[in-house]
Each structure stands twice: as C-alpha cells, then as structure tokens.
C-alpha cells in the first residue's frame, strides 16, 4: 500500500478542517498525520486510527525553527519514502513542500484554504508573497479550496493556472450533512440548551463560530450587536470559539463587552458545535478573509441562514436572498443593517432557512468530496509513479 503523509501546522486543523478525511484515506493508503503539539496530535491519531509523527512548527515567521522543521521532515521522508505528501496551512505548506522536494517525494500537494497575507502590508507582505510563490513552485499540484481563491492566486501570479485545481464546488473537506442535521435536535433539547446557556426562550439568537480575533470581524460584530441591543433586548449574540490575543488581538473595549454585556454569551472553544447551532437563528460571519469556511456550510446544513462578508468562499456558499445576506467586509454599518433586517422581519429568517440546508446538501456532501480527492490522488499516481 502506498504511503500518504498529511501535514498541518497544528492538530486543530486536522480535527476541524479535515475531520474524518484521513480515516477514510486510511482504507486506501498507509496514512500518517504530521503536526505540532505532540499530546494533542497523539490523541488525534488514536481517535482517528491513523499514524502520527510529531514535528514542532510555529504559525509565526521563525526562520531558525522553520529550518529545523524542514530538516526533521526531510529526514523522515528519506526514511519512510512516502509517495504523496499533502500539506495544509501556510507554515506546514512551506516546510512540508520544501522537505518533500528535497527528499524526492514524487507527488507533492498543497491545499490553500485562505491567505493570511491578504491582511498584511509592507515588508511582511513581500516576505509572505515570496513564501507563497516558493511553496507553490515546490508543489506538484495546488488545490485552492474556492474559485475566488484561485482567482486571487492567479492575479497575484503565485502560480500558473495549469498547477491549480479546485475540487468539486470548492471546500477542503465538504460537510457531513447527516451529522449536521437540525432534525437531530428536538424542541425539548433546544429549550433545555437555552436554559443552560441562560438565553431567553423567545430571543432571536445570532451566532458566531470561529477564532475570536480581529480579522474575523469580531470588533465590528460586537459593536453592531450592542448598538442594536439598545433598542431591542430580545436578541442574543452567542460567540463560540477561542481567543487568540497573542496573534490577532481584539480591542480592549470588545473584550470588556464580551465579558460583561447581558446579551452576549461566550462559551469558548467547543469540540461539538451542533448544540449551539441548534438554538441559533442566524450565523453572523463578518470575516475579512477566508478560503472556504466550514462554519458557513455547517450553519447551512443545520438550516441556518448566514450574514457573510463579500469575500471568496463566503460569497460562493451564500447566495444573496436565497440562503443568507452578503455585506462588504469591514463594514459595521452594513453588518448592523443586515442584522436589523432579521430582527424586524421574522419571515426573512423563516424563508432563508427553508433553502439553507438544500443549498449545502446538493453541493458539498462530505463523502462525495473525499471520493473526488481520492480520484485525484490515483490520477496523479498514474502520471508520476506509474
């Protein structure tokens, strides 16, 4: 059986972005997951029945540590001789692709699920542009996970079109639409969940799921919500996800409001987000940049419409007035106005909810995506291995 190595910078990406995928591939390859954070990686391997190999990586620009990671990966690839190395996330991409190229791995694949460099400027932007171009040059094939992202890559001249391919309708992993299914949650469950979270039974609940950082639009979201709350206290904003104050901090005012505002419920990182979707009405996702956001697909599968930024990925999943509303990025006024539309017009929520699930089930079913990726692997084997 051929060997397949999948690399992400941290195990959280294996758990969330690629949920179930490596276990599926293990029926077709000898799969090894490589990432940082050894205890969490080890647990991931046990839970998902795949081999793991720990290599310390950072998400910041750390040249000395990065070179150490390249060397460790190079030695590992020389010893194990995998046929395919497939990387995700920017840091895993550069160190993984470089090590794989140096070690002579025949098939080197990199998935692009967003470009952090889009929110940087100056010297740092130039460095990140160069890293991105270099990563793609080392890869046999690059998979942008949305058509919008592919367009950005081509316009930035990071790679030629013949090296790029979007799988299916987009995404890195699709959605398990039976797992994310509102029918799994009874009205009794919803009422109990609301009581536990201290959310009034008849409140309209806006939800955000993801990292609580500036580039996800959290400062604008909290500000818009608190202004709307002044005129209507029958609304709740639920925030599900971890803070990352070291990498992309929220403003002090936003942090204080999250802690103290009576209408805001922050529940931290949750392994299973479905119970929180089950008591929510609208996903608010005013992110500045994305690849192809899982959370927007998850919300749709749970029958929940979304307010999203007009950025790649988001504006491919959401169709204006069909399964959600699209607003300009970094625009608090537009976000507030869209939230107010849902508050003022109960029929809008009902109507958009009706088509939210079918938009996802028809395009992004997870097992269909896995088979597409497997077909891609096998096709590349025929070309590069024979």
182-361 has which fold? Rossmann fold (3.40.50)
Whether the domain at 3-174+366-384 and the domain at 182-361 fall into the same CATH topology: yes
Q: How far is 154 from 151, CA to CA, in rounded Å?
A: 5
Assess contact for 164 and 147: CB atoms under 8 A: no
Q: How far is 106 from 123, CA to CA, in rounded Å?
A: 34
Neighbours of 259 (CB within 10 A): 9
Q: How far is 384 from 386, CA to CA, in rounded Å?
A: 6
Q: Mind listing the pLDDT tens digit for each residue in 155-181? A: 999 999 999 999 999 999 999 999 999
Number of Cα atoms under 13 Å in the Cβ half of residue 385: 17
Assess contact for 117 and 125: CB atoms under 8 A: yes
For residue 213, which of 327, 59, 15 has the smallest C-alpha distance?
A: 59
Amino acid 247: pLDDT: 79
Q: Tell me the domain boundaries of the chain.
A: 3-174+366-384, 182-361
Q: Which tokens belong to 289? A: 């940049």
Assess contact for 286 and 329: CB atoms under 8 A: yes
Assess contact for 171 and 140: CB atoms under 8 A: no
Q: Print the SS3 string covering the chain.
A: CCEEEEECCCHHHHHHCCCCHHHHHCCCCEEEEEECCHHHHHHHHHHHCCEEEECCCCCCCCHHHHHHHHHHHHHHHHHHCCCEEEEECHHHHHHHHHHHHHCCCCEEEEEECCCHHHHCCHHHHHHHHHHHHHHHHHCCEEEECCHHHHHHHHHCCCCCHHHECCCCCCCCCCECCCCCCHHHCCHHHHHHHHHHHCCCCCCEEEEEECCECHHHCHHHHHHHHHHHHCCCCCEEEEEECCECCCCCCCCHHHHHHHHHCCCEEEEECCCCCHHHHCCCCEEEECCCCCCCCHHHHHHHHCCCCEEEECCCCHHHHCCECCCEEEECCCCHHHHHHHHHHHHHCHHHHHHHHHHHHHHHHCCCEHHHHHHHHHHHHHHHHHHHCC
Phi, psi of 121 (to 5 degrees): -140, 175
Q: How far is 66 from 345, CA to CA, in rounded Å?
A: 52
Q: Mind listing the pLDDT tens digit for each residue in 70-103? A: 999 999 999 999 999 999 988 999 999 999 999 9
Amino acid 184: pLDDT: 96
Q: Which tokens belong to 61? A: 């620009």
Q: Which residues pair with 253 in a beta bridge?
A: none
Q: Which residue has the tokens 């609208």?
A: 282
pLDDT in tens, the chain (386 residues): 999 999 999 999 999 889 999 999 999 999 999 999 999 999 999 999 999 999 999 887 788 999 999 999 999 999 999 999 999 988 999 999 999 999 999 999 999 987 765 667 788 888 888 889 999 999 999 999 999 999 999 999 999 999 999 999 999 999 999 999 999 999 999 999 999 999 999 999 999 999 999 999 999 999 999 999 999 999 999 999 999 888 789 999 999 999 999 999 999 999 899 999 999 999 999 999 887 899 999 999 999 999 999 998 999 999 999 999 999 999 999 999 999 999 999 999 999 999 999 999 999 999 999 999 999 999 999 999 97
Q: Which region holds residue 303: left if phi is over 0, alpha if psi is between -120 and 50, else beta?
A: left
Amino acid 116: pLDDT: 67
Q: How far is 290 from 129, CA to CA, in rounded Å?
A: 17
Q: Which residues contact 228 (CB under 8 A, 6 or more apart)?
A: 235, 336, 339, 340, 343
3-174+366-384 has which fold? Rossmann fold (3.40.50)
């Amino acid at each position: 059986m051929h060997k397949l190595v999948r690399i992400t910078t941290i195990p959280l990406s294996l758990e969330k972005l690629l949920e179930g995928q490596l276990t599926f591939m293990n029926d077709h390859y000898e799969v090894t997951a490589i990432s940082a954070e050894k205890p969490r990686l080890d647990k991931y391997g046990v839970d998902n029945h795949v081999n793991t190999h720990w290599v310390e990586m950072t998400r910041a620009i750390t040249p000395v540590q990065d070179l150490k990671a390249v060397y460790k990966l190079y030695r590992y690839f020389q010893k194990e001789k995998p046929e395919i190395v497939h990387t995700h996330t920017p840091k895993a991409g550069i160190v993984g692709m470089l090590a794989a190229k140096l070690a002579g791995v025949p098939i080197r694949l990199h998935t692009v699920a967003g470009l952090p460099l889009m929110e940087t400027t100056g010297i740092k932007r130039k460095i990140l542009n160069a890293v991105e171009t270099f990563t793609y040059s080392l890869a046999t094939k690059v998979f942008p996970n949305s058509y919008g992202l592919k367009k950005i890559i081509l316009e930035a001249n990071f790679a030629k079109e013949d090296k790029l391919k979007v799988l299916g309708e987009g995404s890195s992993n699709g959605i398990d639409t039976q797992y994310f299914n509102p029918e799994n949650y009874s009205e009794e469950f919803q009422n109990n969940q609301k009581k536990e979270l201290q959310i009034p039974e008849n409140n309209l609940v806006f939800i955000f799921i993801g990292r609580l950082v500036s580039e996800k639009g959290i400062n604008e979201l909290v500000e818009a919500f608190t202004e709307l709350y002044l005129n209507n206290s029958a609304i709740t904003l639920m925030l599900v996800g971890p803070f990352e104050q070291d990498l992309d901090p929220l403003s002090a005012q936003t942090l204080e409001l999250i802690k103290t505002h009576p209408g805001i419920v922050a529940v931290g990182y949750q392994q299973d987000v479905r119970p929180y979707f089950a008591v929510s009405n609208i996903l608010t996702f005013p992110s500045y940049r994305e690849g192809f956001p899982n959370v927007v697909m998850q919300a749709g599968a749970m029958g929940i419409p979304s307010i999203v930024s007009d950025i790649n990925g988001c504006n491919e999943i959401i169709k204006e007035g069909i399964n959600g509303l699209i607003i300009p990025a970094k625009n608090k006024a537009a976000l507030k106005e869209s939230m107010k539309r849902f508050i003022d017009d109960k029929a809008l929520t009902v109507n958009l909810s009706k088509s939210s699930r079918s938009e996802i089930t028809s395009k992004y079913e997870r097992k269909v995506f896995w088979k597409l990726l497997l077909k891609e692997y096998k096709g590349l084997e025929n070309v590069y291995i024979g």
